[in-house]
């Protein structure tokens, strides 16, 4: 959340004897810096912020850029300038590491979905359908990706099957279920400033209904490993979206969650745009409602090439933790299940949850140079909400996990995706 801007000392104006116009300009600069001079060691960075273009400043403001927190995170890099590369790597890992005793999960920590066609599945399905018919369900898609492994295009607009894009397939799914339950199902798409314009244009072209909405995730500026402003090949500040963990605060800030709750909304599913296996499913929704938990998160059998989040016990509590945050002594290969980044959460819990975000320090290569991004991860929901970890299928027509992160992965998955979507009546 953004902090309120500080008041400017009126004596500044008297001492400087500046005009009213200059006073307004100075006030704007000081407010944007957010008392940056009070943060030790980042004066140079603060000065660079004050010289940013109006366009960049407007983009950051639109995305609730928090300058004081940005400078505090930069300060941690400034303090390490004199350290060796190895020392910096060690401190980066220490900063990102999950706090607490980490242990491997056991099979009895996972719930299972009822077998399709069983009495239990029919009961769960009926509960899920009734919730949908009462307008208690919303579907949120993380759609800010720039598909860097697919040439840097907007992933939502990448064609998947039958000339339909990821976005078009999500719209078709939403329309199908809205028709079945005879009422709109809110579809929320988290975009960023680099993708929102084109995604909105595509929605307009598709004549998407008003219950389909976009909202912006956070935006920040890359830093050098020394804590200075990282600049792109054109010498401009390099902005980036700050991670899928943004969905919690960004959804609140958009007003969509508040309005949904006011209309009697109760349950939200959050998933990745490019995982078309994670579709609306009344059996899963009903199972979540039956659990009476504030959160349910999906895992699948782990393939050898999977790298990302896994379920572990942290001080006895099941959490999803990215492998780079685990202790060096912990063998992640022992955990044979993998996070799908699909979460089912009670809307009231999502609205009131308080998370002390880790803001992981991530080293990236940008334009051939090293850059630091501070990102927050949606998996941190599992650290603060008591949740059910549910094991879901990874193969066959019932799969819940078909990730598409590269052109090669898309080409290899097209046929399976088409069969799956036809089986679910999303495409003909």
pLDDT tens, residue by residue, 25-60? 434 443 444 344 344 578 889 999 999 999 999 999
- Mean pLDDT value across residues 390-418: 93
Average pLDDT over residues 97-106: 94
| pLDDT mean over 349-376 | 95
Q: Which two tokens stand for residue 309?
A: 């989040």
- The contacts of residue 99 (CB under 8 Å, 6+ apart) are 314
> pLDDT at residue 355 above 90?
yes
DSSP characters over 374-417? EE--GGGHHHHS-EEEEE---SSTT-S-----SHHHHHHHHHHH
State phi, psi for 62 to the nearest 5 degrees. Answer: -60, -30
Map out the domains of the chain with their CATH numbers: 102-423 (3.90.550.10)
Cβ–Cβ < 8 Å for 296, 387: yes
- pLDDT on residue 189: 98
Residue 148 confidence (pLDDT) above 70: no
- pTM for the predicted model, two decimal places: 0.88
Residue-averaged pLDDT of the chain: 89
**pLDDT exceeding 70 applies to what percent of the chain?**
89
* Per-residue pLDDT tens digits for 232-241: 989 999 999 9
Q: Which residue has the higher pLDDT, 317 or 145?
A: 317
9-23, 33-47, 97-111, 383-397: least confident range: 9-23
Question: How would residue 307 be classed by pLDDT, with cut points 50, 70 and 90?
Answer: confident
Q: Is the pLDDT of residue 271 over 90?
A: yes
Does residue 419 contact residue 396 with C-beta atoms inside 8 Å?
no
DSSP characters for 221-238?
E-B-TTSSBPB-TTS-B-
pLDDT score of 17 more than 60: no
* 3-class DSSP assignment, residue 216: strand
Helix residue spans in 79-118 (DSSP H):
85-96
């Amino acid at each position: 959340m953004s902090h309120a801007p500080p008041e400017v000392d009126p004596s500044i104006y008297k001492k400087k004897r500046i005009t009213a116009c200059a006073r307004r300009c100075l006030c704007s600069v000081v407010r944007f810096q957010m008392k940056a001079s009070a943060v030790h060691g980042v004066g140079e960075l603060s000065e660079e912020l004050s010289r940013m273009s109006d366009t960049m400043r407007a983009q950051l403001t639109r995305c609730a850029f928090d300058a004081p927190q940005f400078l505090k995170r930069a300060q941690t890099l400034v303090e390490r300038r004199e350290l060796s590369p190895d020392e910096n790597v060690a401190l980066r890992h220490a900063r990102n590491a999950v706090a607490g005793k980490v242990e491997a999960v056991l099979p009895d920590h996972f719930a299972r979905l009822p077998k399709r066609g069983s009495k239990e599945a029919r009961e769960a399905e009926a509960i899920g359908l009734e919730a949908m018919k009462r307008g208690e369900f919303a579907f949120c898609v993380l759609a800010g990706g720039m598909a860097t492994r697919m040439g840097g295009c907007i992933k939502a607009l990448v064609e998947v099957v039958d000339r339909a894009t990821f976005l078009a397939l999500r719209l078709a799914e939403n329309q199908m279920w809205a028709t079945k339950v005879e009422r709109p199902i809110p579809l929320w798409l988290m975009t960023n400033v680099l993708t929102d314009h084109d995604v909105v244009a595509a929605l307009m072209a598709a004549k998407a209904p008003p219950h389909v909405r976009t909202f912006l995730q956070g935006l920040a500026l890359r830093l050098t490993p020394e804590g200075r402003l990282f600049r792109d090949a054109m010498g401009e500040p390099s902005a980036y979206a700050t991670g899928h963990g943004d969905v919690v605060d960004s959804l609140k800030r958009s007003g969509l969650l508040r309005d949904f709750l006011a209309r009697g909304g109760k349950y939200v599913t959050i998933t990745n745009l490019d995982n078309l296996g994670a579709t609306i499913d009344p059996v899963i929704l009903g199972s979540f409602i039956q659990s009476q938990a504030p959160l349910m998160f999906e895992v699948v059998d782990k393939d050898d090439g999977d790298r990302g989040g896994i379920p572990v016990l942290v001080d006895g509590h099941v959490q999803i933790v990215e492998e780079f945050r685990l202790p060096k002594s912990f063998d992640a290969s022992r955990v044979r299940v993998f996070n799908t980044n699909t979460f089912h959460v009670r809307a009231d819990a999502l609205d009131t949850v308080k998370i002390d975000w880790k803001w992981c320090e991530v080293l990236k290569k940008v334009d051939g140079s090293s850059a630091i991004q501070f990102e927050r991860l949606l998996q941190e929901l599992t650290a603060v909400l008591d949740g059910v970890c549910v094991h879901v299928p990874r193969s066959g027509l019932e799969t819940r996990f078909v990730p598409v992160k590269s052109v090669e992965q898309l080409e290899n998955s097209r046929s399976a995706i088409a069969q799956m979507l036809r089986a679910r009546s999303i495409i003909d």
